[in-house]
Chains A and B, each alone.
Chain A
Amino acid sequence: MAIDKRVQSAAAAMEGVRDGAVVFISGFGGAGFANKLLVALRDHGAKELTLVVNSATHRLSLTHELIAAGQVRKVIASAGRGRDAGLSVFEQLLKDGKMEFECVPQGTFAERIRAGGAGIPAFYTPVAYGTDLARGKEVRTINGRDCVLETAISGDLALLRADIADRFGNLTFRHAQMNFGPAMATAAKLAVAEVRATQDEPIAPDRVQLSGVFIDRVVAVGA
């Protein structure tokens, strides 16, 4: 049967997502948030989720809707601070001990996901050595440099936003949409991209920015 990874709706793209899933959410600074898929995941209702997302609280991401809906058990992120002086829902849950949070330096965050998708169980990095974020982690001096052992992150579902997808799931990204998307897609069992448009015609091979091999479902949601 001819490969076709296009699905009809964001809701259909969430089929099979289970409680307790580890969910990667791409997007950074306003670019590449898969907000249609986030709403679909909220409506799908899966609970006890672990979110792996750069920022738990970015104002342009709908990540907070999953948190506010009580579907999230734990967040792994480089940022968990709300913009306002008062506490965000996420910060209130943290304060009340109802949310687990793992704060990770952003480059280590990206590399742990890359490792998860690349078959590397763990790696040493000099980042965070001597800081609170290295507490409890194995330390080793390599070529005279003090390093921290960091483990890979892999998961169940990745949600990313791209520009164009063809039926093979090959993707192009617009401007800075890419950010964590490619790494997250490689690290998840089910990688879903919402895109501005899908096309029957294959994307030119040398213009593809993420191979469809890493993508399982695509859904066109418009601009």
Chain B
Amino acid sequence: MPGLNRNQMAWRAAQDIADGTVINLGIGIPVLASDHLPAGRDVFFQSENGVIGVGPAAAPNEADTDLVDAGSRTITLRSGATIIDSTASFAMIRGGHIDVTILGAFEVAANGDFANWDSRIPDKGPLVGGAMDLAVGAREVWAIMEHNTRQGAPRLLERCALPLTAVRCVRRVFTDIAVIDVTDAGFVVRELLPDVSVERLHARTGAPFTLAQDFKPLVVPPLPV
């Protein structure tokens, strides 16, 4: 049965971005969250390359390769934006000045360990970028990922099997079927798609979990893939 698509996962994560947040969105699904921010929330999107206040993507006729985000997208700036150098940008990240980062993930462990940088593709060069800095430095780390691999293996685990990005850092996970908090007591499921049973969720999850006191259905509007 189909779970949420990429835009729906990003939409669900965007609902949790509080007004006034300074946030860094990773490449892939996370960056889509900026398109789904609820109206009235004034948010600063920070990008590792030093753009503080990323606006919507640039129209093709206005694209300028000097004005890009860390994912090489040509962008616009929001009002109040600033541009700083990389050392200041990472001082902002490492120094705890970023409220939230949302990052794509391969695996998350019940203790918050996080793997998102090395999927062990044979012979391809390593790529870590700013993931380790964000995972350690942001005040809160949220992960977005499919609940299971294409082969059906769980990505929520007792311990990560893939190389770690950072230890004990993830606070919340948005998957295509559930929203899960990572707590001192392990995974706590907050929301679950109505057509996925709790038993089925156990079968698809690689670690024990409990249900939140305010456990509720995961409801997301239809959105294009």
Contact = CB atoms under 8 A, between A and B. Distances in A.
Interface string B61-104: 00011111111111000000001111101100110000000000
Interface residue tally of chain B, by bracket? Answer: 35 or more
Given A79-B128, A174-B66, A131 B164 contact: yes
B57 interface: no
Contact of A105 (B68, B71, B124, B130): B130
A78 B129 contact: yes
Contacts, number: 153
A42 to B, nearest CB: 21
Contact of B68 (A31, A79, A91, A107): A31
A91 to B, nearest CB: 5
Interface stretch (A120-128, A136-144, A197-205): A120-128
B130 to A, nearest CB: 4
A127 B133 contact: yes
Nearest to A32: B66
Instruction: Identify the interface centre among A127, A174, A178: most chain B CB within 10 Å of its CB.
Output: A127
A107 B90 contact: yes
B128 A133 contact: yes
Given A31-B65, A101-B125, A179 B133 contact: no
Interface in B142-168: 163-167
A45 B33 CA distance: 46
Given A30-B72, A80-B126, A131-B163, A106 B87 contact: no
A182 B94 CA distance: 19
B169 to A, nearest CB: 10
Interface stretch (B6-14, B44-52, B206-214, B215-223): B44-52
A193 to B, nearest CB: 14
A60 B65 contact: yes
B125 A57 contact: yes
A180 B90 CA distance: 11
B85 A106 contact: no
B133 A175 contact: no
Contacts of A132: 118, 163-164
B134 to A, nearest CB: 8
A28 B86 contact: yes
A90 B10 CA distance: 34
Contacts of A111: 87, 90
B127 interface: yes
A181 B87 CA distance: 10
Contact of B128 (A106, A129, A176): A106
A103 interface: yes
Contact of A176 (B67, B124, B137): B67
Interface string B100-132: 000000000000000000100001111111111
A221 to B, nearest CB: 14
A106 B66 contact: no
Given A131-B132, A174-B66, A175-B67, 17 more contacts: A28-B68, A29-B69, A31-B68, A78-B127, A78-B129, A78-B130, A81-B127, A95-B123, A105-B129, A106-B133, A110-B86, A127-B137, A128-B136, A131-B167, A176-B50, A179-B49, A182-B85
11 contacts: A29-B49, A32-B66, A95-B123, A105-B133, A106-B90, A127-B94, A133-B132, A174-B66, A176-B68, A178-B86, A183-B86
Q: Which 10 A-B pairs have the closest CB atoms?
A: A80-B125, A107-B90, A107-B133, A30-B65, A105-B132, A81-B127, A175-B66, A130-B167, A106-B130, A29-B68
